């Protein structure tokens, strides 16, 4: 599986911190030596109380179009200029201090430290898919394999039937998974399309197409559906940020069919493109407050929701999104609330 290393921009390292927007940690260090295994999220947390707020600082420096990546051996230092805190970088290989500028140094991407440890979502970034209602049912389907085989693998040929007017050279093979239902409105948000493999179109005539199977995650079966390969580029850099709009939603599913959620788990939430969510948006997770009997007043009281974690959206669809849980302070579960941090 192709490893996705995420080089989050380091432009946040050369800017001033506004006291009314960005707050330094009380116990922040004066410097930090970057080591292999660090992530930029961790480094941000070292200096900032709200690490997702670093883009707000970065936007104060719009002249930086191509920010640096951060590498093991670099030293990040906190200094003060005109009474305002700034962060600078001592490059490890030279010991020289750099105030980040539009210039770049060319290094293999694999040498840069990642933004967030996202190995857990590589397969989601490349293949996971949520389709709108009825899209799978209307898609072309596997009719039979060559020599009438009913179960197929990589290297085999298959015949499929359906509408191939899009003339896509590559199709993904999918099997219907669960339906995602909004627990608040009962709206159907989409259907999970489980990745089974990839096939390449060879010939097509009168709605019957011949494909060669190039990749499988499990055996392809008669009735599996074919969807054109998505024309979707995967951004190799995530910029954790607060949403531009007010978001209030809930966790609707956990990958793997679990009910309990922990750090680095992938979850689905009931908010997406139409709600203003964007890739990289960070949301706080809240446990719903319970009900207690007030023995003095004799009535029932709703306790306030309690903040219990953070997640970052990494894939959006029209009506829902996938997100990675970054932090937890207590066990989380399906139907926990999510909102602006």
Can you give the pLDDT of all 341 residues of the chain as single tens digits?
Answer: 333 333 333 333 333 333 345 677 788 888 888 887 777 677 777 877 777 665 544 433 333 333 446 677 877 777 776 776 666 667 665 444 444 433 334 444 445 556 666 665 666 665 678 998 788 999 999 999 988 888 888 889 999 999 988 778 899 999 998 899 999 999 999 999 988 999 999 999 988 999 999 999 889 999 999 999 875 544 545 667 889 899 999 999 887 666 678 888 889 999 999 999 998 899 999 998 888 998 999 899 988 989 999 999 988 999 999 998 988 988 888 889 999 98
What radius of gyration do the chain's Cα atoms show?
Answer: 24
C-alpha to C-alpha distance for 170 and 52, rounded to whole angstroms? 38
In this predicted structure, what is the pLDDT of residue 12?
35
pTM of the model: 0.68
Domain residue spans of the chain: 11-117, 125-228, 248-339
In this predicted structure, what is the pLDDT of residue 6?
36
248-339 falls under which CATH superfamily?
Answer: FlgT, C-terminal domain (2.40.10.410)
Strands (E), 5-150: 31-33, 75-81, 84-90, 97-98, 129-131, 141-145
Q: Is 156 helix (H, G, I), strand (E, B) or coil?
A: coil
DSSP code of residue 45: H
In this predicted structure, what is the pLDDT of residue 106?
40
C-alpha to C-alpha distance for 37 and 28, rounded to whole angstroms? 20
Q: How far is CA 35 from CA 14, 32, 73, 128, in A?
A: 20, 9, 6, 32
In this predicted structure, what is the pLDDT of residue 101?
39
C-alpha to C-alpha distance for 259 and 68, rounded to whole angstroms? 40
Paired with 158 in beta bridges are 145, 211
C-alpha to C-alpha distance for 320 and 130, rounded to whole angstroms? 9
Q: Is 42 helix (H, G, I), strand (E, B) or coil?
A: helix
Four-CA torsion 136, 142, 143, 148, nearest 10 degrees: -160
In this predicted structure, what is the pLDDT of residue 214?
92
In this predicted structure, what is the pLDDT of residue 76?
77
Paired with 254 in beta bridges are 267
């Amino acid at each position: 599986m192709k490893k996705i290393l995420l080089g989050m921009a380091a432009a946040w390292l050369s800017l001033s911190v506004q006291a009314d927007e960005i707050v330094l940690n009380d116990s922040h260090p004066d410097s930090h030596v970057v080591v292999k295994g660090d992530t930029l999220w961790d480094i941000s947390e070292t200096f900032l109380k709200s690490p997702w707020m670093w883009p707000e600082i970065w936007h104060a420096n719009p002249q930086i179009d191509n920010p640096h990546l951060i590498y093991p051996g670099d030293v990040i230092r906190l200094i003060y200029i005109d009474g305002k805190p700034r962060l600078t970088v001592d490059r490890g290989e030279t010991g020289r201090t750099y105030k980040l500028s539009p210039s770049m140094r060319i290094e293999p991407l694999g040498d840069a430290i990642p933004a967030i440890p996202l190995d857990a979502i590589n397969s989601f970034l490349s293949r996971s898919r949520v389709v709108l209602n009825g899209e799978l049912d209307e898609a072309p389907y596997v009719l039979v394999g060559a020599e009438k085989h009913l179960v197929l693998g990589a290297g085999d040929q298959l015949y499929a039937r359906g509408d191939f007017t899009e003339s896509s050279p590559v199709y993904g093979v999918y099997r219907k998974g669960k339906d995602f239902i909004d627990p608040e409105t009962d709206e159907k948000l989409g259907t999970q399309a489980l990745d089974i493999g990839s096939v390449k179109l060879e010939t097509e005539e009168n709605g019957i197409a011949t494909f060669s199977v190039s990749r499988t995650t499990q055996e392809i079966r008669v009735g599996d559906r074919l969807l054109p390969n998505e024309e979707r580029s995967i951004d190799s850099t995530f910029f954790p940020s607060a949403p531009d709009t007010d978001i209030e939603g809930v966790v609707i599913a956990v990958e793997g069919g679990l009910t309990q959620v922990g750090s680095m788990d992938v979850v689905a939430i009931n908010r997406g493109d139409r709600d203003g969510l964007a890739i990289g948006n960070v949301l706080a997770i809240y446990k719903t407050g319970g009900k207690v009997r007030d023995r003095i007043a004799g009535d029932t009281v709703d306790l306030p929701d309690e903040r219990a974690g953070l997640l970052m959206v990494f894939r959006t669809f029209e009506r829902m999104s996938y997100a990675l849980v970054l932090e937890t302070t207590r066990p989380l579960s399906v139907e926990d609330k999510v909102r602006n941090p």
